[in-house]
Amino acid sequence: MPRSQRPPRKAAPQAAPASAEAAQLRELSARCRGGRPPPRENVEEALSQGFARLVMLEAELVRARRRGATAAEATDRLGVQALVKELEELRHALEQLRSQTSSPAPLAHGFVFPARRKR
């Protein structure tokens, strides 16, 4: 179908410009290093935005790899490389801010209680 006849794409939330979240995380990390720790709310909001960007990029990477496997186009490979690089930068920025603020409580890393009774 020609591009002009295609139905409009469903509106999807747009990711912020590349690495905007990583830059924000790095800025907060710098404040921590400089002895001016930001308020907890600011840290949590930056982490929330960072993890949101992270899962979006991971989902994009899965799609890009799937595309690349079928099309094997050079542009796809470049796209995958750029995504991987941004993911690495973002993960590093998230880990850095986590380590400079409060360490997660042990149980916060993940648990599920067994069900008391069946549904």
Partner 1 sequence: MTTQRSAIRELVVDDHDLFRVGLSSLLAGYEGLEVVAQASGGRMAVRLAAELRPDVILMDLRMPDLSGPAATRAILEKDASARIIALTVAAEESDVTVAVSAGVCGYLIKDAPVDDVVSAICAAASGAAWLLPRAAQAVLE
Residues that bind partner 1 (CB under 8 A): 12-13, 15, 44, 47-49, 51-59, 62-63, 94, 98, 102-115, 117-119
Query: Shortest Cβ distance from residue 6 to partner 1 (Å)?
Result: 21
The smaller minimum CB distance to partner 1, of residues 3 and 116, is found at: 116
Gap between the Cα atoms of 14 and 112, Å rounded: 33
Structure tokens belonging to residue 116: 């008391």
Across the chain, which distance is largest between two alpha carbons, in Å?
59
Listed residue (106, 117, 93) closest to 29, CA to CA: 93
Gap between the Cα atoms of 88 and 110, Å rounded: 23
Query: Shortest Cβ distance from residue 8 to partner 1 (Å)?
Result: 18
Query: Shortest Cβ distance from residue 115 to partner 1 (Å)?
Result: 3
The smaller minimum CB distance to partner 1, of residues 15 and 80, is found at: 15
Contact by Cβ (8 Å): 101, 36: no
The smaller minimum CB distance to partner 1, of residues 3 and 10, is found at: 10
